[in-house]
Structure 1
Amino acid sequence: MIARILITLGVMIFAVVVPALEINSSHVFNSEWPPHARFHEVWQLTTNCGVGVLCLWLAWAKNNIKLASTLVIIVMGGALLSHGIENLYGGSIVSGNISKTFLGLELAAAAACIAILMAISAVLLEGKHKSPAKS
């Protein structure tokens, strides 16, 4: 049960919190962004929401904690990778002039790390609860 809750919390970061923060005039409706950039933003948000629904289904209906966790790690790891290489493409994890840190990291990077740690913890917890197969 705890593993499923950890997956759910990780999914909420990218499938609920991020869209809530980005469906506004600073991102999706930002008139200064080229239309194609806004298209990619909406594509990313809808894809992540779909992956989030899949993760929840895998965790709660199919009890497939490993695959659900892997998907959380892929989505949030992608955010961390994008942050790590942002100097290569002129991007920034910081939105506008607002920079907030948590545990020494930009808030978005910290949230991604927390989601990844929750997904890893879910797999480890689930592994402890499953007994080895008897021959």
Structure 2
Amino acid sequence: MPQMRPLDPAFPIDRQIAIDTGPLVLVNVFTLDRDDEQIFLRVWQDDAAFMKQQPGFISTQLHRAVGESPTYLNYAVWESSAAFRAAFTHPEFRAKIGAYPSSAVASPHLFQTVAVPGICVA
């Protein structure tokens, strides 16, 4: 099971998923030992396949850090925090995360779009 290290220790994922909002983006940064990368990728693929079947899931993309760093970023879009919460707390998903290598550290955080005049829309 990966260790959980919040991006913002004052407001971890367990508090974030309690807020009803949407749409939202999950950003999850994973660090791990280089020797565990293939295991990590297989487990993440299995998790992503499960999430893809859940109501409210829109999309996901996994990114790997440039160079030698075994750091990954998962970006997933959800219709609502309620949909993400249902998937994230689902017993089948909770069982799946136990397959991650012990070196994995996950830092999940939820985000919403922000409108900036002349630059981007919310």
Query: Above 0.5 in TM-score?
Result: no
TM-score w.r.t. length of structure 1: 0.28
State the structure with more CA Rg: 1
TM-score w.r.t. length of structure 2: 0.30
Flag the structure with higher helix content. 1
